[in-house]
Amino acid sequence: MRFRDVVVNREERFSIGIEEESSRFYVSIPVSNPYVDYSEYYEIDAATFERFIGDAVAAGEFADRCRAREMDHVLLYQPGRLRGSGA
């Protein structure tokens, strides 16, 4: 997988981008567990991608839902057993 961030919001701690091999769109958030820091990637459709590019508030609200694990059903890949926290 090759992730290319199009927008990075450092203040709200999320990015919006395209997974180049599959052309799928995503929102990613940083997470940490006791051993490693990594990113979780949540799939969004093209219309949502375009909306989030122009609406940082809506994108931030989506990222917050991801941190609360309300959007796990759209994870691009499932995390391991030592899943990190995006707090």
DSSP labels for 16-77? EEEETTTTEEEEEEEEE-SS-EEEEEEEE-HHHHHHHHH-HHHHHHHHHHHHTTTTGGGBSS
Position 56 scores a pLDDT of 95
With bands split at pLDDT 50, 70 and 90, how would you rate the model's confidence at 80?
Answer: confident
The model's pLDDT over 8-61, given as tens digits with 9 standing for 90+, comes to: 999 999 999 999 999 999 999 999 988 888 999 999 999 999 999 999 999 999
Beta bridge partners of 41: 28
Position 35 scores a pLDDT of 87
Structure tokens that stand for 41 in this block: 């990637």
Structure tokens that stand for 69 in this block: 């694990």
pTM for this model (two decimals): 0.91
Q: For residues 77 and 75, what is the distance between their CA atoms, to the nearest angstrom?
A: 5
